[in-house]
């Protein structure tokens, strides 16, 4: 009887020991898992590197794409922004928009002239100077940063022979505006060079003498920072660098960092298409022709809507481009003259004058000599020819419409045949087109006589007998 309590006590002890062991095991496993999770959480992920490719001329579209890309990279916590560049130059305003975004960026920006054979000419040199890191691929070049007709219309004056005492870098026979542009560009690139601790003297030479450098020479003269064959090599070379951006020091950890390449969105693609000067001019002319066709033949609707859309798109593109307003005024004058030719009998004088004004205005329209931003003469000749054909065709259509007999209204009564209702010495009544009209005749009229209407004076018709000459 005394052994049963002992056995029960021993069983309880065994179960307690087993539970305690299991609890210790679970506690150890939980602790290990928590420790591993804690260590994983304390190891932050490597921030990405954003790549913004810029190809071709620096335009309002590329500026919008670059500025938006820098903002997006900053918002998503990028540690470095790489602008892959291959450009012959571009517009001054677009270049300055990109540079302002680079200087204000809290994320370091590296300008990378890539691939081999690419260039960062003219505006590209300024952007490279403004970047925190300047890199170039083998076989690339930069320079030729002289300002080219920035905001100035008309051709440049011919340069005469320079005096022997003048320095080689001094432009000869330059006007005041050219000197202003040159000094402004020199000061601008020198300021960027001092900001990034680069060769300011060579930057001024690139502006005044339009000189260029290869990649090896650029690194040797402290214009560029490094040479990298491709993007992974570039990221390995800048790994561990400490860079100041927007007043804060940042350490780069770019070796093996994830790379995000941005692509232009629909807005940038649309801007790239419509801000081409040739496309903008074509859109404007299509819009004008559509509105002229709509006003000349009301009720078509589609030409009016399409014309209004094209005209607004063309004007939107022109306001983003360096436009010569004298050229725009000549285009408007030419279109006005061609429109007036359709409604006035000038025998082609207004039409020919309008085509000439349009051609001169199209040549003067874009106020810059930057490559890729002019209107080709072949396009101007084509549009002038199309305008002449359109004008001739619309004039023929309107002329035929004017020569058609009147089939409605009061004027349609002239030449109509009527029948006299009663005898009258001079004034009486007649039925014309099923209506009774008061008539006047120089000869006496008899009932049932046929008469011809020669004129209308208010509610009285002048008539003659149908057999008389009208």
Residues designated catalytic: 122, 180
Q: 456 forms bridges with which residues in the sheet?
A: 461
Cα 315 to Cα 274: distance, rounded to the nearest angstrom: 10
Whole-number CA gyration radius for the chain: 41
Cα 114 to Cα 145: distance, rounded to the nearest angstrom: 19
Closest Cα to residue 81, out of 262, 247, 237? 262
Q: What's the angle, vertex CA 89, arms to CA 85 and CA 93, rounded to 5?
A: 105
Cα 63 to Cα 95: distance, rounded to the nearest angstrom: 7
* Structure-token match 């579209």, residue found: 61
Contacts of 468 (CB under 8 A, 6+ apart): 452
User: 87: exposed, middle or buried (C-beta count within 10 Å: 0-12, 13-18, 19+)?
Assistant: buried
Phi-psi region of 233 (alpha: psi -120 to 50; beta: other; left: phi over 0): alpha
Contacts of 330 (CB under 8 A, 6+ apart): 357, 358, 360, 361, 364
Q: What are phi and psi of 464, to 5 degrees?
A: -130, 165
CB 138 within 8 A of CB 215: yes
End-to-end CA, the chain: 154
Closest Cα to residue 260, out of 103, 58, 70? 70
Q: Measuring CA to CA, how many Å separate 295 from each of 170, 284, 305, 331, 343?
A: 57, 17, 12, 20, 12
Structure tokens at 240: 């561990």
Question: Is 192 in a helix, a strand, or coil?
Answer: helix
CB 246 within 8 A of CB 105: yes
């Amino acid at each position: 009887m005394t052994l049963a309590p002992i056995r029960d006590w021993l069983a309880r002890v065994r179960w307690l020991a087993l539970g305690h062991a299991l609890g210790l095991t679970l506690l150890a496993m939980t602790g290990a898992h928590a420790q591993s999770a804690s260590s994983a959480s304390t190891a932050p992920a490597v921030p990405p590197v954003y790549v913004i490719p810029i190809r071709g001329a620096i335009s309002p579209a590329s500026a919008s794409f670059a500025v938006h890309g820098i903002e997006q990279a900053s918002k998503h916590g990028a540690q470095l922004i790489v602008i892959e560049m291959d450009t012959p130059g571009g517009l001054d305003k677009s270049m300055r928009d990109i540079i302002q975004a680079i200087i204000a960026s809290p994320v370091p920006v590296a300008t990378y002239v890539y691939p081999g054979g690419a260039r960062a000419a003219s505006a590209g040199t300024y952007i490279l100077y403004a970047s925190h890191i300047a890199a170039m691929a083998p076989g690339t070049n930069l320079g030729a940063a002289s300002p080219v007709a920035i905001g100035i219309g008309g051709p440049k004056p011919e340069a005469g022979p320079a005096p022997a005492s003048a320095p080689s870098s001094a432009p000869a026979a330059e006007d005041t505006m050219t000197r202003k542009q040159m000094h402004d560009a020199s000061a601008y690139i020198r300021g960027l060079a001092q900001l990034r601790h680069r060769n300011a003297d060579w930057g001024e030479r690139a502006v005044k003498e339009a000189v260029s450098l290869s990649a090896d020479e650029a690194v040797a003269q402290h214009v560029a920072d490094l040479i990298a064959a491709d993007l992974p090599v570039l990221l390995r070379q800048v790994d561990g660098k400490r860079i100041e951006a927007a007043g804060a020091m940042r350490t780069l950890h770019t070796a093996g960092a994830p790379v995000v390449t941005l692509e232009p969105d629909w807005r940038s693609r649309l801007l790239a298409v419509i801000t081409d000067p040739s496309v903008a001019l074509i859109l404007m002319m299509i819009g004008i022709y559509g509105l002229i066709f709509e006003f000349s033949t009301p009720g078509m609707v589609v030409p009016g809507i399409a014309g209004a859309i094209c005209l607004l798109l063309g004007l939107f593109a022109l306001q983003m481009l360096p436009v010569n307003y004298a050229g725009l005024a000549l285009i408007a004058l030419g279109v006005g003259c061609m429109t007036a030719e359709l409604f006035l009998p000038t025998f082609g004088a207004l039409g020919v004058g309008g085509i000439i004004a349009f051609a001169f205005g199209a040549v003067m329209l874009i106020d810059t000599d930057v490559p890729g931003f002019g209107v080709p003469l072949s396009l101007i000749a084509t549009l002038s020819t199309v305008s002449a054909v359109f004008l001739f065709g619309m004039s023929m259509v309107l002329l035929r419409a004017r020569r058609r007999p009147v089939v409605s209204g009061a004027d349609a009564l002239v030449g109509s045949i009527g029948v006299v209702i009663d005898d009258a010495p001079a004034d009486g009544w007649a039925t014309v087109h099923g209506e009774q009209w008061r008539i006047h005749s120089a000869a006496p009229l008899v009932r049932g006589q046929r008469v011809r209407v020669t004129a209308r004076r208010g509610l009285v018709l002048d008539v003659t007998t149908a057999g008389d000459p009208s």
